Structure 1
Amino acid sequence: MPLAVKELIDAGVHFGHRASRWNPKMKPYIYGKRNMIHIIDLKETVRGLLRATKFFHRVAASNGLIAFVGTKRQAAETIVEECTRCQMPYITERWLGGTLTNFRTIRSRLQRLEELESILDGEQALSYSKKMIATLTRERTKIDRNLSGIRHMARLPEALFVVDPHREHIAVAEARKLGIKVVALLDTDCDPDVVDLPIPGNDDSMRSIELVIRHLADAIIEGKAMAPAEPPPRETNDSQGPGRGDRRGDRRGGPGAGRGGPGQAGGVSRSGVRAAGRPAEATEQAAPAEAEGATAVAAEVVATPAEVEGTPTEVAVTPTTDAPQSGGEASPPPAAE
């Protein structure tokens, strides 16, 4: 849908804050001042909105996620409506610290929400007292109010759209820390340096916010129509390493293995013998003596498979000492156990 300057004027996108509240970094985006109120340059608004729509179109075409954040009363209803239409996550209530940087904990709270719903909506609720039911209901309501918009967000988003980055400074800081691109509708009292794609405009008017978000949602829908088939979502591990139990299992040859047992193919036992994983052939190498000054004697034991089924396996021992003189009789090989 093409964007007309008259449409922006009718929505009041050009109205800024009072001149006494301005941020000097917004000077390139200000057209002038009238009645002690700054007027935003709509050319810069159109330029920023076009760049944002192209960026969102590209992200949506690659099956990327774009999270919308707007806790203002003027923006909440529009964000819920448009994000539902374009199927993107959103947050319209209080931003919980660590929503992005501690996303693993947020996912655990969403799993708790599903657990509470299964309890309260099922027959299991009949076994609880009225007091416990009331406690669980309050917990479910609190989680649902704060996190219902990102309930189906199984991974971190590729981009973040913010209405008034001055108000949502915590969300912007978390996104910048994780390298997530930030697009923002910002007024004359905001800092444009903290966002990647600024859209200068009135962030206090419902009509202004609705106009901008509607164009962004249209770009997302067009991009998703060009996207390939999306693979099943995979939950993030929040960049955390293996737990203590995992490391212990690696040292012992794999989780669940006995002490000194291989656990996995190629594990090392206490005697230092590596399991080759072949049923008919094994190679063992004796470890050198640990006593200081002792002479290291190595013997290579090679087991060959029997040629006839039921015949004991022959073992040839090749000592490291000198070979016996010619004409001497070799000792018979020991029977395999």
Structure 2
Amino acid sequence: MSLVNELVESGVHFGHRASRWNPKMRPYIYARRNLIHIIDVRETIRGLLRARKYLSDVAGRGSLILFVGTKRQASETVAREAARAGMPFVSERWLGGTLTNFRTIRDRLSRLEELEAIRQGEAIKSYSKKMQSTLNREYRKIYRNLNGMRTMSRLPECLFVIDPRKEKNAVKEARVLGIPVVSLIDTDCDPDTVDLPIPGNDDSLRSIELICRLIADSVVAGKAQAVLQQQAAKDEARAQAAEKAAERAAADKAAADKAAEQKAAEDKDADTAS
């Protein structure tokens, strides 16, 4: 099945009611049908191709891409596809300061690991039942909000966002820090708030699943390409090292042969003189 057919079947071209549109989305709208805006699939493909190439390059450099999607339709898909791509994600709730106050977030992740160690060991039994309940409640809260960012040891290179209106706080923090934002945007969104817009239905589960899958595929491909390039570089380095070793061995042999010839000549001259 072609990409166009997949996009159309997933309903990616259905926008919001015309009365809810953002005029800045005009270049991405094809027509209006029954008071519903129809998104130009050509613009969707154009934005998707740009986004996939950029995110593949980012992943190939070993940088982090933070997947963000907390709306009900996107939460599970974002978590699944980000995990498949080996990238951090936020699928439950965006905590204020996740990017701009990242040090505090790292402290909370350390607390999560500490709580897990307590719950999995014998230490939990030394606490009262009330304290155990408090610790379990704290653990569940931190786990729900921050578990997807366990692997985020540094700020991400870019964000992939489902619906920048819903995730306005994430987009705002990214812009403050100069972090590029790639986003699936519907007809009620402002494309100026993101760097690489992918015009499309951000409310349909099938549309979100398709776009997230394609984006995750690009990230996985970028990482795989990087591994191949690293392996090729190692093989080339080994080949160059072997070639240099062979050249040194040949030079050493030539020097040894020359020394042997000189020794033989000196011995011959000595015999002649005697």
The one-letter amino acid paired with 2:72 is: R
The one-letter amino acid paired with 2:38 is: I
Offset of 1:226 from its aligned partner? 2.1
Secondary structure of the residue aligned to 1:55 is helix
Offset of 1:125 from its aligned partner? 1.3
Query: Over aligned residue pairs, what C-alpha RMSD do you find?
Result: 1.1
Aligned: 1:199 with 2:195:
no
Counterpart of 1:161 in structure 2 is 160
Output the CA distance in 2 between the equivalents of 1:208 and 1:41: 14
Output the CA distance in 2 between the equivalents of 1:223 and 1:177: 27
Output the CA distance in 2 between the equivalents of 1:101 and 1:3: 41
**CA displacement 1:59-102 (0-9 Å, x = unmatched):** 01100100000011111111111111111100011110000000
Output the CA distance in 1 between the equivalents of 2:2 and 2:144: 34
Counterpart of 1:111 in structure 2 is 110
Counterpart of 2:51 in structure 1 is 52
**CA displacement 1:228-282 (0-9 Å, x = unmatched):** 57xxxxxxxxxxxxxxxxxxxxxxxxxxxxxxxxxxxxxxxxxxxxxxxxxxxxx
Output the CA distance in 1 between the equivalents of 2:95 and 2:3: 37
Counterpart of 1:89 in structure 2 is 88
Counterpart of 2:270 in structure 1 is none
Preserved CA contact (<8 Å) 2:181 2:196: yes
Secondary structure of the residue aligned to 2:79 is helix
Preserved CA contact (<8 Å) 2:87 2:151: no
Output the CA distance in 1 between the equivalents of 2:225 and 2:4: 29
TM norm structure 2: 0.82
Counterpart of 1:36 in structure 2 is 35
Counterpart of 2:8 in structure 1 is 9
Output the CA distance in 2 between the equivalents of 1:4 and 1:97: 37
Counterpart of 1:66 in structure 2 is 65
Mapping for residues 183-222 of structure 1, pairs under 5 Å: 183-222=182-221
Secondary structure of the residue aligned to 1:33 is strand
Counterpart of 1:123 in structure 2 is 122
Output the CA distance in 1 between the equivalents of 2:39 and 2:76: 25
Count of matched residue pairs: 228
**CA displacement 1:132-187 (0-9 Å, x = unmatched):** 10000000000000001001110000010110001110000000111111000000
Preserved CA contact (<8 Å) 2:67 2:88: yes
The one-letter amino acid paired with 1:37 is: I
Counterpart of 2:236 in structure 1 is none
Offset of 1:3 from its aligned partner? 5.2
Could you list the runs of 5+ residues in structure 1 that have no partner in the other structure?
Answer: 230-337
**More helix per residue: 1 or 2?**
2
The one-letter amino acid paired with 1:208 is: S
Offset of 1:4 from its aligned partner? 2.0
Secondary structure of the residue aligned to 1:217 is helix
The one-letter amino acid paired with 2:45 is: V
Aligned: 1:170 with 2:161:
no
Output the CA distance in 2 between the equivalents of 1:72 and 1:106: 21
The one-letter amino acid paired with 1:137 is: N
Aligned: 1:76 with 2:82:
no
Output the CA distance in 2 between the equivalents of 1:28 and 1:209: 21
The one-letter amino acid paired with 1:20 is: S
User: Relative to structure 1, is the Cα distance of residues 210 and 99 closer, same or farther in structure 2, using a 3 angstrom cutoff?
Assistant: same
Runs of 4 or more, structure 1, over 6 Å off, are none
The one-letter amino acid paired with 2:97 is: G
The one-letter amino acid paired with 1:97 is: G
Secondary structure of the residue aligned to 1:227 is helix
Q: Relative CO higher for 1 or 2, CA cutoff 8 Å, sep ≥ 6?
A: 2
Counterpart of 2:151 in structure 1 is 152
